[in-house]
Chain A
Amino acid sequence: MKAMNRRKLFTVCATIAVASLAVTAIPAQAAEVGVSSSEIKLGMTLPMTGTASPGYNKIPGAVKAYFDYVNANGGINGRKLTLVVKDDQYVPTLAVAKTNELILKDKVMALLAPLGTANNKAVASVVNPGARGIPTLFVNTGFSGFADKKKYPTTFSLLPSYIMEAKIMAEYIKDNFAGKKLGLLYQDDDFGDDALAGFKQAGLNFDVKVAYASGSQGDKVSPAQWVTKLQAGGAEVVILFGVSSATAAALGTASVMKFAPQWILGSVGGDATTIKASGVPAGVLYNAVGASFAPATTDTADEYVKLFQEIYLKANPTETFDNNVMVGMNTAFLTAQALKAAGTNPTRKSLIAAIEKSGKNFASAALVPLNYSTTSHVGYNGYWFGKYSPTGDLKPAGGVYTVYTTDSGNGAVVKSTYKRPAMPAKGLPN
Chain B
Amino acid sequence: MDKLKGANKLGLYVVSGFILFLLGNRVDELRVYQGASIAVFVVAISSIILLTGYSGQVSLGHGALMAIGAYSAVISRNSFHTPVILTFVIAVLIAAIGGALLGAAAARLSGPYLAGTTLALAIGLPSLANQFSILGGEQGIFFDVGFPPPSLGEGFTQYKWFFWIAALAALISMWLVANILRSRFGRNWRAGRSNETAAALSGINVSRSKILAFTISAGVAGLAGALLSMTIGIVSPSAFPLTLSFSLLTGAVLSGVSTLSGVMIGAVTLVAIPEIADAVATRIGVSERLTTNLPGLMVSTLLILTVLFVPNGPVEQHRTRQARKAAREKH
B231 to chain A, nearest CB (A): 9
Please, how many angstroms separate the alpha-carbon atoms of A282 and B268 in the complex? 47
Top 10 A-B pairs, shortest CB-CB distance: A126-B233, A13-B264, A3-B4, A104-B30, A118-B139, A93-B239, A21-B31, A91-B238, A125-B142, A214-B138
Within the assembled complex, what's the spacing in Å between the Cα atoms of A126 and B144? 8
Q: Which of B20-28, B49-57, B72-80, B209-217 contacts A (4 or more CB under 8 A)?
A: B20-28
Q: Which residues of the other chain, B, contact A189 by a CB distance below 8 angstroms?
A: 137-139
A49 within 8 Å of B (CB atoms):
yes
Which residues of A (15-31) have their CB < 8 Å from a CB of B? 16-18, 20-24, 26
Q: Which of B33-41, B102-110, B191-199, B304-312 contacts A (4 or more CB under 8 A)?
A: B33-41
Residues of chain A lying within 8 A (CB to CB) of residue B1: 1, 3-4
For B272, the chain A residues whose CB sits under 8 A away are 20
Interface stretch among A94-102, A257-265, A307-315, A400-408? Answer: A94-102
Q: Are A9 and B262 in contact (CB under 8 A)?
A: yes
Interface string of B113-140 (1 = CB under 8 A from A): 0000000000000010010000001111
Asked if B261 CB lies within 8 Å of chain A CBs, one says yes
In the complex the two chains form, what is the Cα distance from A127 to B142 in whole Å?
A: 11
Q: Bound complex: CA of A294 vs CA of B35, how far in Å? A: 45
Nearest A residue to B315 via CB reads A9
Please encode chain B, from 8 to 28, with 1 for each CB lying within 8 Å of some chain A CB and 0 for all others: 000010001001100100111
Contact of B140 among A3, A49, A92, A127 (CB under 8 A): A92
A419 proximal to B (CB < 8 A): no
Q: Which residues of B contact A (CB under 8 A)?
A: 1-4, 12, 16, 19-20, 23, 26-35, 38, 127, 130, 137-140, 142, 232-234, 236-239, 261-265, 268, 271-272, 292, 315, 318-319, 322, 326
List 18 extra interface pairs beyond A16-B265, A20-B31, CB under 8 A. A1-B2, A2-B319, A10-B16, A13-B262, A14-B19, A21-B23, A21-B31, A22-B31, A24-B28, A26-B28, A49-B292, A96-B232, A96-B233, A104-B28, A121-B139, A122-B142, A188-B138, A189-B137
Does A190 have its Cβ within 8 Å of any Cβ on chain B? Answer: yes
Chain A: minimal CB distance from B203 (Å): 27
Evaluate contact between B139 and A10: CB separation under 8 angstroms: no
In the complex, chain A residues whose CB is within 8 Å of the CB of B28: 24, 26, 104
- The main secondary structure of chain B at its interface with chain A is helix
Q: Which residues of B contact A16 (CB under 8 A)?
A: 264-265, 268
Residues of B within 8 A of A105 (CB): 30
A-B contact pairs, 25 of them (CB 8 A): A5-B319, A5-B322, A9-B262, A13-B263, A13-B268, A20-B34, A21-B35, A22-B27, A24-B31, A87-B292, A92-B139, A93-B232, A97-B232, A100-B33, A104-B28, A104-B33, A125-B233, A126-B142, A126-B233, A188-B137, A189-B139, A190-B139, A214-B137, A214-B139, A215-B238
* Chain A residues closer than 8 Å to B315, beta-carbon distance: 9
In contact, A10 and B12 (Cβ under 8 angstroms): yes
